[in-house]
Structure 1
Amino acid sequence: MKLNKIPIPNDTCLVEIVSDDNTQNHCVYFLNMEGELIDYVKIIDASVSEVISLLPHMFKIQFTPMQMWEMQCETSFNRIFEPDVIPYDSIFAWQMDSEMVGIIRHFGKINNVLNYLETDEFKSEVHILDDFIYSRPTPIEKESEEVHNRGIAARKRMLKIIREWVI
């Protein structure tokens, strides 16, 4: 299949490319600032680099369901069961919250904006990483310092992995 163009909806704040494991199939999700799905495109028989080259959006992330599953397993600190592997084309499963959209956009600016680390914008936004890492999102983290410290370590690992996926 020869791709010529992938149209990007106007309100897109983040392009999420979820590539099927061990195939040339992809779903491209267009998310708004809140992480909600605006639209999606399913692409069959194309390389990841071809798909990426047809998306002139500054904020892109690409991963596979297995990479997501491995990240969830590696960063789990308060879970009894392993997470499920979500199919790449499970349309609404790949939405995210506004906090994660902000973090990914921050990583996108670090990757794509010249001298971004030296700007006032960077200095005013860098707190979103610490806010995520040091938050106490679960009741057990509010009660137990040991669990909270495990949560901090897990969220740091999570952000390191996610940053590697940001294009």
Structure 2
Amino acid sequence: MTEPLADRIMRQIHHASGLYYRLVLVVAQAGRGKTTALQEVRDRAGLPMLNLNLELSRRMLDLTERQRVLQLPRLLAEIVNAAQADVNLLDNIEVLFDVALKQDPLRLLQGLARNKTVVAAWNGSIDHEYLAYATPDHPEYRRYSTRDFLAVTPEAIA
């Protein structure tokens, strides 16, 4: 029997506490239970769960495109720091991949994960070598080496 995703996330949160980047990515395609698992972790551990698309969109609404590019890292840090918790659950992070914002989503998450543990739902795939977001033909496609973060998936990593 497979261990529930929420249990594996809880275990990785504990494991991340001793790492340089305390970043845990819950990696799967849309509809695979990432949000449900994060909600269960939130309920069990009393952790804040932040909807980044909603929170960042609210803060960037009155900014110009150039201001959004420049201020997004600061706004993201403000959102996470306002939660005043050592562990933050981040859901709906798609706005970080918006091509117009010219950001490196993994680097942004790693920056946040230097001072606190960050658990983020990542819509994509992972194998032993690479983490991917979207498909290669999509403008928001990103591919990263599987270093400097912990990963949890609904199934075993292929």
The normalised TM-score by structure 2 is: 0.31
Q: Which has the higher contact order (CA 8 A, sep 6+)?
A: 2
Higher strand share: 2
Structure with more helix by fraction: 1
